[in-house]
Structure 1
Amino acid sequence: MSKVTLAIIAAAGAATGAAATAAFYSTTKKETPPSVTTTTTTTTATAAGPPRRAPIPPVPGIPHPAAQRPVDPSGVFQYGFPGPIADLRPAASLTSSYDRRTRNPHWVAEHITPSSLAANNADRKHSVFVEDVSIPEMFRAKLKDYFRSGYDRGHQVPAADAKWSQEAMDDTFALSNMCPQVGDGFNRDYWAHFEDFCRRLTKSYPSVRVVTGPLYLPKREADGKWRVSYEVIGSPPNVAVPTHFYKVIFAEDGQIGGKVALGAFVLPNAVIANNKPLGDFEVPVEVVERASGLEFASKLEPVRRKRLCQEVSCSLVVREFAQKQKAFQKH
């Protein structure tokens, strides 16, 4: 088991503990209303008329729970809801959820098909990096945050997946689709080859959906304790540099209710040798869910699931265009 998997499992263990606590509180017995005591009464018949029942004691009133509270914590909502608020961005080539705290996306989802990749109606030279003005200014990642930071503006949905229109490609250049990524050796190399692997899946599947995003995973330090530590860039420093990135891949067979080859991968945000097997970064999707706090396949029935790396060869193709790719991705 690789070190990255161990780190993810450690994060998963912490999340599991939190889930257990939540489950405990959610299953606590609710307070039952006061019971009503039934009194058995004996009646006596008289010549004056039919027997009469004794009066039924009234049911004690159950006070409204709010009447017992001397405070109203939710009253703070009159001044505005604190959050967290996830800025959902539906665009032509992607859908994303933005994390205002880290100035990175929670996740970015895309859909690629053989026909979408075959179209060539856009040119990357005409696309420019832009700030996402749909996000409030104080929570927005800015172009100056990346300037001389030492990190690439790393696409979560790559521009090469959106060549079917210039608008679609332009959508991928918003900073809400970016995270700080190590350049040489990762964003311009191994990560780019991984993105190419996702595109090559369309040769075997008519529909491929990919969800990509950052992780902030714990690392075991010299004292034996696990801690989460990550760099922050910008001025003021507010854009988090992820420790890892994930991709969850759904390779669909094209049939309604058909089989789905599911694959999940976690890669460190670091230099990775191109000869490193992609399979070394494969993890169960549940590990990514626990580490990220997100759910990806809760509605995908087990009977429909297949393991992607058992259906296809999970290996990279290091192409000759690597140098050209680097030139395009320089910040």
Structure 2
Amino acid sequence: MKLRFPLLLMLLLGLSVYAVQHNSKADNEARYELPKSSSRTQIVKHTGYTLSYSEDDEQAFWVAYVLTKEHVEQRSAKRTNKFIDDPAVRTGSATNADYARSGYDRGHLAPAADMGWSETTMKESFFFSNMSPQEPSFNRGIWKDLEEQVRAWAIDNERIYIATGPVLSGNLERIGPSGVSVPRYYYKVILDYTQPELKAIGFIMPNQKSTRSVKDFAVPVDSVERFTGIDFFYTLPDDLEKHLESQVDLNLWSWKQKKVRKQPKS
């Protein structure tokens, strides 16, 4: 008994330390992607992403989530294409009637392809709170190219932190019975917080067709913050946040070749 009790005590202490460290790591990892929230928006948490909802615009100011190599490679759930109201938005989200015959796509902010790692996350990716009116040529063109590029980075870097959304400023066009704002620009910011090479990058894209490369739209995260008024990655240590957000080194990121998309027959 004298031998067993110390051994058992050491084992229990070891498990306790592991649990604390594990939970602490999970808590730390879960916070980096979230921008600083505003008192005039509703924060809504779903399984695969968190969003800040603007009732005035009937869409999210931002959608934030962690994307891992496992998420991208697992892809166990099939795309549903079933767009539904978000029951978690207290004031009610936009609906299909808002987009019907508008000429705009129901553009995903958190892409369905990023949420294919479970049936639940796939379903929740089709909530209207995760949609924004996008020009079809933009949604299916340069925006899709950027989404594919980000998934490649998740594989390359094991884990990345993403915040994305529309730029909801200025006198914007409105569509549908709910008056959904039509953004002129969209943004995406990405943080790689895995050693040995920490880095961050941002993108600002006009809501229109483009034949340019995704790389042409890359900017420092600071530029996206000034353009949107949103404070990204604010939970990082101040010196590190300033360093990562003030510059962008394109050579630190791998780049997919731009696809040549076939034009529909006239």
Match of 1:282 in 2: 218
Cα contact 1:251–1:308 (8 A) shared by 2: no
Match of 1:252 in 2: 193
Alpha-carbon separation, structure 2, partners of 1:319 and 1:198: 18
Match of 1:230 in 2: 172
Shift of residue 239, structure 1, vs aligned partner: 0.3
Match of 2:125 in 1: 172
CA RMSD of aligned residues (A): 2.4
Are residues 1:297 and 2:241 paired? no
Secondary structure of 1:144's aligned partner: helix
Cα contact 2:51–2:61 (8 A) shared by 1: yes
Secondary structure of 1:101's aligned partner: coil
Change (3 A) 1:319 1:89: farther
**TM-score, structure 1 as length reference:** 0.61
Are residues 1:104 and 2:54 paired? no
Q: Deviations over 1:115-134 (max 9, x none)?
A: 1111132111x351001122
Cα contact 1:209–1:249 (8 A) shared by 2: yes
Shift of residue 259, structure 1, vs aligned partner: 4.4
Shift of residue 91, structure 1, vs aligned partner: 1.1
Match of 1:188 in 2: 140
Alpha-carbon separation, structure 2, partners of 1:111 and 1:118: 14
Secondary structure of 2:98's aligned partner: helix
Alpha-carbon separation, structure 2, partners of 1:200 and 1:123: 19
Alpha-carbon separation, structure 2, partners of 1:142 and 1:93: 21
The number of residues matched between the two structures is: 222
Alpha-carbon separation, structure 1, partners of 2:206 and 2:77: 31
Cα contact 1:277–1:315 (8 A) shared by 2: no
Q: Deviations over 1:83-118 (max 9, x none)?
A: 954221111111111011111101001211111111
Change (3 A) 1:102 1:231: same
Match of 1:200 in 2: 152
Cα contact 1:109–1:210 (8 A) shared by 2: yes
**TM-score, structure 2 as length reference:** 0.75
Cα contact 1:278–1:315 (8 A) shared by 2: no
Match of 1:18 in 2: none
Cα contact 2:166–2:187 (8 A) shared by 1: yes
Cα contact 2:168–2:181 (8 A) shared by 1: no
Unaligned runs of 5+ in 2: 1-37
Cα contact 2:220–2:248 (8 A) shared by 1: no
Change (3 A) 1:283 1:170: same
Are residues 1:121 and 2:121 paired? no
Match of 1:134 in 2: 88
Alignment-mate amino acid for residue 155 of structure 1: H
Match of 2:209 in 1: 271
Alpha-carbon separation, structure 1, partners of 2:257 and 2:168: 25
Secondary structure of 1:199's aligned partner: helix
Q: Deviations over 1:124-161 (max 9, x none)?
A: 1x351001122244x53121000011000000000101
Cα contact 1:197–1:316 (8 A) shared by 2: no
Alignment-mate amino acid for residue 278 of structure 1: V
Shift of residue 316, structure 1, vs aligned partner: 4.7
Which of 240, 243, 251 is the aligned partner of 2:181? 240
Shift of residue 166, structure 1, vs aligned partner: 0.8
Secondary structure of 1:204's aligned partner: helix
Secondary structure of 2:166's aligned partner: strand
Shift of residue 308, structure 1, vs aligned partner: 5.0
Alignment-mate amino acid for residue 135 of structure 1: V
Cα contact 2:213–2:258 (8 A) shared by 1: no
Larger Rg over CA atoms: 1
Secondary structure of 1:245's aligned partner: strand
Q: Deviations over 1:255-279 (max 9, x none)?
A: 4xx6421001000001111xx1223
Which of 295, 309, 318 is the aligned partner of 2:250? 309
Secondary structure of 1:102's aligned partner: coil
